[in-house]
């Protein structure tokens, strides 16, 4: 039987970040992933680290703290993750959106985000690809980007160098507890004795929680992203649209006119491929996407950026984001099972929040309370009225 000080379940950006930080603290760590590292949700997303899109409060403060870690992360990990602070824009298409975004910008400025509201002329100076009918845009130099595939792999490699054992294509089949405390994990490849388990299984976190009798209020939210052929650079930074903000934060207001949660998100990789999204739907783990959703995404994107009509899309990605309903993850030790930690529910912000999540969870495990100002807001208690 293997033994470990801590076992991390989930090999995406969240799980690998946690494994790296635990190993850096000197804990004998094992990471278990049922597929390949970064092969599920973390491999089906865009590259944006948007701060201006976050709600003021703990969500935005988490993102700021994570960005601070990102700025020195390549040095820590010892390799490139293609991190770049290149700015971000939210395009505004109608007078109604413009009114909403004026209030949005004011709140973000009050929260300390350097963000400007631009008229259409100023917006097209930054992004000439925008359609003539746009009403304006917001712009922030604070927004950044990273390669999520490189990020997962870099965290995993660094974790290994610090002593972490990584078991891929390994499935957790049971978690044994003794007198209310974690004691052992059972997998298809054998057992691991440990008193600390971190559930970083993303949208599959509820299934892992059930193994210890815990109900975790996370549901999968399907998203679709197009990947284009390689084209010359057409963007500065990353681009969202105001409808994306409504679909992300105010889905209940957009369901009637936007049932698929369509909202433009656009970025371009170093190699020239465009990552074009997207949609937000609660359809379980259904991977088959109806043609009308692809058509709606393409139509919406081409209305905002007409030149996309001449670019071939070569494949699509379908991913399932772990949604808690309020946009915040759950980061805490279980109130019922000692030694069982939850680190999931980041929805579309897993990439943005991965660096700070690793530090927070390592702090929770070591009981140093370094991030108590965050963790008090990220517990299961906030769902008490719903459960």
Q: What is the pLDDT of residues 66-120, one digit of tens each?
A: 999 999 999 999 999 999 999 999 999 999 899 889 999 999 999 999 999 999 9
DSSP at 283: B
CB 29 within 8 A of CB 165: yes
Q: Residue 369 has what pLDDT?
A: 87
φ/ψ of residue 216, rounded to 5: -110, 120
* pLDDT > 70? residue 17: yes
Q: How far apart are CA 24 and CA 30, in angstroms?
A: 13
* Residue 372 exposed, middle or buried by CB count within 10 Å (0-12, 13-18, 19+): exposed
How does residue 254 score in pLDDT terms, banded at 50, 70 and 90?
very low
Q: Residue 250 has what pLDDT?
A: 55
* pLDDT > 90? residue 259: no
Helix (H, G, I), strand (E, B) or coil at 80: coil
Write down the mean pLDDT value for the chain.
94
* Number of helices and strands in the chain (H, E): 12, 20
Q: Which of 72, 11, 153 is nearest to 356 (CA)?
A: 72
Q: Residue 386 has what pLDDT?
A: 47
CB 320 within 8 A of CB 222: yes
Higher pLDDT: 254 or 327? It is 327
Separation in Å, CA 327 to CA 23, 57, 70, 277, 348:
29, 12, 21, 19, 8
DSSP at 284: T
Q: What is the pLDDT of residues 232-244, one digit of tens each?
A: 999 999 999 998 8
Q: Which of 234, 280, 287, 242 is nearest to 261 (CA)?
A: 280
* pLDDT > 50? residue 127: yes
Question: Residue 43: which residues within 8 A CB-CB, separation 6 or more?
Answer: 12, 148, 149, 152, 317, 319
Helix axes of 148-161 and 13-24: crossing angle, nearest 10 degrees:
30
Q: How far apart are CA 295 and CA 260, in angstroms?
A: 11
How does residue 248 score in pLDDT terms, banded at 50, 70 and 90?
low
* pLDDT > 50? residue 246: yes
CB 203 within 8 A of CB 41: yes
Name beta bridge partners: 197: 7, 340
Q: What is the pLDDT of residues 178-235, one digit of tens each?
A: 999 999 999 999 999 999 999 999 999 999 999 999 999 999 999 999 999 999 999 9
Residues 360-376, mean pLDDT to the nearest whole number: 96
Q: Residue 387 has what pLDDT?
A: 44
Helix (H, G, I), strand (E, B) or coil at 190: strand
Helix axes of 350-366 and 13-24: crossing angle, nearest 10 degrees:
30
């Amino acid at each position: 039987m293997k033994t470990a000080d801590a076992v991390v379940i989930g090999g995406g950006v969240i799980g690998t970040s946690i494994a790296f930080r635990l190993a850096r603290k000197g804990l004998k760590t094992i990471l278990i992933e049922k597929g390949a590292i970064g092969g599920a949700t973390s491999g089906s997303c865009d590259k944006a680290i948007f701060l201006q899109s976050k709600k003021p409060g703990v969500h935005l403060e988490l993102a700021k703290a994570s960005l601070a870690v990102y700025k020195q992360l390549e040095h820590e990990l010892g390799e490139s993750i293609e991190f770049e602070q290149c700015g971000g824009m939210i395009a505004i298409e109608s007078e109604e959106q413009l009114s909403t975004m004026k209030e949005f910008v004011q709140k973000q400025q009050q929260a300390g985000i350097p963000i400007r509201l631009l008229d259409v002329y100023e917006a097209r100076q930054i992004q000439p690809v925008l359609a003539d009918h746009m009403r304006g845009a917001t712009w922030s130099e604070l927004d950044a980007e990273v390669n999520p595939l490189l990020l997962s792999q870099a965290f995993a490699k660094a974790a290994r160098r610090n002593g972490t054992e990584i078991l891929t294509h390994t499935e957790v089949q049971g978690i044994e507890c003794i007198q209310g405390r974690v004691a052992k994990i059972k997998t298809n490849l054998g057992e691991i004795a440990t008193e600390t388990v971190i559930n970083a299984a993303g949208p599959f976190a509820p299934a892992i929680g059930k193994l210890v009798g815990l109900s975790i209020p996370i549901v999968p939210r399907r998203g679709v992203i197009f990947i284009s052929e390689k084209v010359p650079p057409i963007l500065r930074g990353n681009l969202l649209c105001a409808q994306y903000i409504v679909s992300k934060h105010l889905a209940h207001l957009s369901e009637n006119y936007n049932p698929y949660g369509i909202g433009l998100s656009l970025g371009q990789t170093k190699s020239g491929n465009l990552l074009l999204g997207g949609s937000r739907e609660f359809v379980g783990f259904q991977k088959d996407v109806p043609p009308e959703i692809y058509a709606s995404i393409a139509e919406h994107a081409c209305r905002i950026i007409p030149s996309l009509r001449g670019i071939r899309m070569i494949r699509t990605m379908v991913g399932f984001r772990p949604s808690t309903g309020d946009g915040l993850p759950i980061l805490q030790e279980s109130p019922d099972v000692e030694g069982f930690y939850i680190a999931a529910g980041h929805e579309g912000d897993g990439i943005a929040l991965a660096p700070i999540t690793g530090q927070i969870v390592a702090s929770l495990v070591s009981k140093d309370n370094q991030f108590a100002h965050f963790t008090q807001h990220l517990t299961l208690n906030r769902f008490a009225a719903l459960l």
